[in-house]
Structure 1
Amino acid sequence: MLRFGVFLAVIGFGSSVLHFTDVQFRLVMWAEEGQPALGLGIGAVGVLIAVLPAVLRRRPQEQQQPQQPPRQQVYAAPTQPFPQPPRQPFVQAQTPYPPQMPRRGPVPQFPPRPPAQYGPPAGHAAPRDR
């Protein structure tokens, strides 16, 4: 309902302001003879539709509140402190995986090297056209 109310307010008040120019909303062209009064009326209805739900939501909350002042709650001091777990000295966490061995052999490169030559491998004859 809020969006519809805001839409009506913008269209209504906007059409009443645009009445004094050569521009009009196509949605309210039919009401050009009644402008700016009809535009102000549509805008006021839009504001009512947008504001009315918020006002109605507040009223039941005000009626539900008790008329008596709230009581002051008295808190008693705890009789015994809560037991604390014993503290342990800081211990460094163990490594979860053993260290990796160094790689043996050639290291791949990125991007990969292009082949040394293009074409058929050495020792093979290229097919001939007949």
Structure 2
Amino acid sequence: MRALLPGGPDLARRNRYGSVSVIPAAERGHVAYVRAVLTETDIDVNHVNDLGWTALLEAVVLGDGGPAHREIVDILLAHGADPRLPDANGATARELAERRGFQDLAAVLRQAEERTPAP
């Protein structure tokens, strides 16, 4: 990422799923990349891909609920990820965390929802 930044990459460029780079990084647990791309660029933290998922949703849906994904959720929320944005089926990240049995993650997301004004 740092090698590419001086060249002014297109941060809105999408992969075959319609995702910008922060989404697959969040899903795969790449903490350092998620932190760096959100801190050093203006990438859209709430970008919704063709599957109807944001980076926050993918971190929960496709993550393992462990320390790396927990840290990524914290980073995403700190950089403006909207915990109230639902997936294509209407489920929020908190609801998905609860379904997967990630109670600690669900509690963090519940608190974030309470701090986020309803649309």
TM-score of the pair, normalised by structure 2: 0.22
| Structure showing the higher helix proportion among its residues | 2
Rg larger for? 1
